[in-house]
Amino acid sequence: MPLPLPALPAPTAAPAAERATARRRRPQLAVLADRDLASRSEAELIAQVLGGPEPAAELLRCGTTLSRLPFWRRRALGVAGLIRDHGVAPERAVRLAALWELAERWYPDDRPSIGSPRDALLLLGDLRSARTERIVAILLDARHRLLRQEVVAVGSINASRLAPRDVLAPALAHGAAAVIMAHNHPSGDPTPSRADRHVTAVMREAAALLGMPLLDHIIVARDGHHSFRESEGWSDDAQAS
């Protein structure tokens, strides 16, 4: 007859005192975590959203850069801007953009209203120093507050290469009520060329057909800027026909 196998010892439950200690530790750890978060700088908190409780050094540097931007400008970056301008990985950019979307829903909107070319120029500092020509669309809501800004084309402005849809499609996709177009002259001279004037007329007419005013076309350069709104006396309700 086969010998009976020895019975395996039953697993022992943790002593009641140990279970009680573990239960007490959980809320204590939560309190400590809350205190730690409250003591963190905004840069450190952004880095933790990107990389967890112990973010890497490069994420801390990224958090520091982003924390120096006003909230409305961070919000305007969107996922694409976080990836393109700050090298944030796509999945982390989505996480951070989602956090900012929640913050915008929970707290009052501090986005500035763009009421003049000078207001728009505050958003275009990077464009002034760019070495290649870039065309940017500044998308605004019904109160002319910034929704976002996007680089819609790179290279010399030319009616054969830049179509109205390049500027207006992002505006429609993001529910913009108005748009400002801007581009830079790396040469340093902001004087508009014949192509600049032609493209401006085409864009303004196309925007008017969509009921979405093109409020301005601004040329930015090292030696100054040119605003079509200022130089030609545009008004919000007087669109090209």
The token duo for 43 is 């840069």
Query: So what's the pLDDT on residue 241?
Result: 37
Nearest C-alpha neighbor of 149 from the set 179, 104, 184, 190: 179
Identify whether the C-beta of residue 184 lies closer than 8 Å to the C-beta of residue 127.
Answer: yes
How far is it, in rounded angstroms, from Cα 184 to Cα 190? 8
Query: So what's the pLDDT on residue 89?
Result: 93
Q: Count CA within 13 A, CB hemisphere, residue 91.
A: 1
Alpha helices per DSSP H over the chain: 16-39, 42-51, 57-67, 71-86, 90-106, 117-121, 125-128, 164-173, 194-209, 228-232
Query: So what's the pLDDT on residue 11?
Result: 54
Q: Could you identify the residue written with the tokens 């279970």? A: 19
10-residue stretch averages of pLDDT, the chain, 241 residues long? 56 57 53 70 91 90 90 82 91 92 78 86 87 92 88 74 88 90 93 92 93 94 93 67 37
Q: Count CA within 13 A, CB hemisphere, residue 98.
A: 8
How far is it, in rounded angstroms, from Cα 203 to Cα 210? 11
Alpha-carbon torsion angle 80, 148, 193, 129, nearest 10: -60
Residues 6 or more apart in contact with residue 47 via CB below 8 angstroms: 55, 59, 60, 62, 63
Q: Is 201 left (phi over 0), alpha (psi -120 to 50) or beta?
A: alpha
Domain range list for the chain: 25-106, 117-232
The token duo for 200 is 């401006």
Query: So what's the pLDDT on residue 238?
Result: 46
Domain 117-232 architecture: 3-Layer(aba) Sandwich (3.40)
The token duo for 161 is 């290469």
Query: So what's the pLDDT on residue 204?
Result: 94
Alpha-carbon torsion angle 84, 85, 86, 92, nearest 10: -40
How far is it, in rounded angstroms, from Cα 207 to Cα 127? 23
Query: So what's the pLDDT on residue 229?
Result: 94
